[in-house]
């Protein structure tokens, strides 16, 4: 049992890969609205209990309840945002919400109402399970016991310790059930992500998923003769010099910038700590507009990152006859070469290459030639 608890407490923070998954699916706004609604609902209890005989008595306790309700309303309004908050902001939100729940639980005149109010920790626990580490969840469970112990002592002093013990047990069962259910879901989600198609930090495709998606993309469009396939290799400059925490933030910010500046049909992947891939098609061989959007978007992130970018363009006619993995290996290798050329030239720039006919098409007729 102790060993299991130690293993659980050593689990890493879930914040980055869960928020990356939300961003990858365009679900950040919807998720923030859900959290906003749930947090706003926490303001109902302290306001209603003011008018109950079991609620807070006296001007000080009533004022504390009102302040807790205002904090909940303020947090709900703060959650109506376009992007998920930072990890530090998220933990600050948990702290303020926990303080509010504690205050409401302790000012109730009826100790049963105080014990019941601690059920709100179940929502906080579920949030912590999804976005933070097991150590934070354990701290929340400990806080629940400490806060619930005070009204329990009052109920025991009133002559009914059995009822108090039953209430505490019921509250713990509710909170533990909620956190255990969320933990199981996160575990399954993590296994699906690690063994699936997404890179866990940025929520973009990993290398193998990029090859599969880009191969399908090429096969579906390669018969459109007036289009060109473009492979973009993006590398963050001076990434190795960043502190670990900043490196993670840089990857997340760059991944978000890549999603927001590429078209919906483009295939975007994060293949190493500092490198990203994009596959897209254009009517003309000039992809400079896309490349400059990517470079500017990453440059405008909080860390002011610069990039070295390698771009390869090739006509799509006839590419369906080429083995897709061989084709992508060839184009990515060429893109990586010109990316390193851009880095050696000082970085913060793009280099372009044209591949008129990939080598993997040797032995196949040239569909671009005029056969008339």
Residue 367 resides in a domain: no
Give the model's pLDDT for residue 370: 45
119 lies in the same domain as 253:
no
| Contact call for residues 275 and 333 (beta carbons, < 8 A) | no
pLDDT at 234 over 80: yes
pLDDT at 247 over 80: yes
Q: pLDDT-based confidence at 98, cuts 50/70/90? A: very high
Give the model's pLDDT for residue 18: 77
Q: pLDDT-based confidence at 357, cuts 50/70/90? A: confident
- What's the average model confidence in pLDDT over 245-257? 84
Give the model's pLDDT for residue 307: 94
Give the model's pLDDT for residue 8: 57
242 lies in the same domain as 170:
no
Give the model's pLDDT for residue 263: 86
162 lies in the same domain as 288:
no
Give the model's pLDDT for residue 265: 81
- Structural domain boundaries, residue 283: 207-361
75 lies in the same domain as 40:
yes
74 lies in the same domain as 181:
yes
166 lies in the same domain as 279:
no
Q: Provide the mean pLDDT of the chain.
A: 84
Beta-sheet strand order (sheet of 267-270): 267-270, 275-282, 228-236, 307-315, 349-354
Compute the distance between CA of residue 338 and CA of residue 219 in angstroms, rounded to an integer: 25
Compute the distance between CA of residue 66 and CA of residue 72 in angstroms, rounded to an integer: 10
29 lies in the same domain as 175:
yes
- What's the average model confidence in pLDDT over 325-342? 93
The model scores a pTM over 0.75: no
236 lies in the same domain as 356:
yes
Give the model's pLDDT for residue 81: 86
120 lies in the same domain as 97:
yes
Domain count, the chain: 2
Reported as a single tens digit per residue, the pLDDT across 280-306 is: 988 888 889 999 999 999 999 888 899
pLDDT at 352 over 80: yes
CA trace torsion 16, 18, 23, 29 (10° rounding): -110
| Contact call for residues 198 and 204 (beta carbons, < 8 A) | yes
Reported as a single tens digit per residue, the pLDDT across 141-191 is: 888 888 988 988 888 888 888 888 888 888 888 888 888 887 777 766 655
Q: pLDDT-based confidence at 139, cuts 50/70/90? A: confident
63 lies in the same domain as 160:
yes
Give the model's pLDDT for residue 6: 65
Task: Answer with the residue of higher pLDDT: 6 or 202.
Answer: 202
């Amino acid at each position: 049992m102790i060993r299991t608890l130690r293993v659980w407490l050593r689990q890493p923070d879930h914040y980055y890969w869960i928020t990356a998954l939300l961003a990858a699916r365009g679900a950040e706004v919807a998720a923030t609205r859900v959290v906003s609604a749930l947090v706003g609902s926490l303001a109902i209890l302290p306001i209603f209990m003011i008018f109950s005989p079991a609620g807070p008595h006296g001007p000080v306790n009533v004022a504390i309840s009102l302040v807790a309700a205002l904090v909940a309303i303020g947090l709900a309004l703060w959650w109506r945002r376009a992007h998920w908050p930072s990890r530090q902001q998220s933990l600050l939100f948990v702290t303020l919400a926990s303080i509010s729940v504690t205050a409401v639980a302790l000012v109730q005149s009826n100790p049963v109402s105080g014990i019941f109010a601690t059920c709100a920790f179940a929502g906080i626990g579920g949030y912590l399970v999804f976005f933070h580490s097991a150590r934070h969840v354990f701290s929340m469970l400990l806080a629940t016991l400490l806060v619930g112990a005070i009204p329990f002592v009052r109920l025991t002093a009133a002559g009914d310790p059995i009822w108090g013990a039953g209430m505490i047990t019921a509250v713990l069962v509710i909170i533990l059930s909620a956190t255990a259910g969320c933990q199981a879901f996160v575990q399954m989600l993590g296994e699906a992500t690690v063994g699936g198609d997404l890179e866990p930090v940025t929520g973009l495709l990993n290398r193998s998923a990029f090859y599969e998606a880009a191969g399908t993309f090429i096969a579906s469009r390669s018969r459109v003769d007036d289009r060109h396939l473009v492979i973009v290799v993006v590398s963050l400059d001076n990434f190795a010099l960043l502190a670990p925490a900043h490196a993670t933030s840089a990857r997340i910010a760059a991944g978000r910038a890549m999603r927001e500046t590429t078209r919906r049909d483009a295939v975007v992947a994060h293949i190493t700590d500092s490198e990203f891939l994009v596959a897209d098609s254009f009517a003309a061989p000039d992809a400079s507009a896309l490349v400059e959007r990517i470079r500017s978007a990453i440059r405008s992130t909080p860390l002011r990152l610069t990039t070295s970018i390698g771009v390869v363009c090739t006509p799509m006619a006839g590419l369906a006859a080429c083995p897709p993995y061989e084709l992508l290996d060839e184009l990515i290798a060429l893109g990586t070469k010109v990316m390193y050329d851009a880095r050696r030239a000082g970085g913060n720039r793009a280099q372009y290459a044209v591949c008129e006919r990939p080598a993997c098409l040797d032995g196949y007729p040239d569909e671009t030639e005029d056969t008339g």
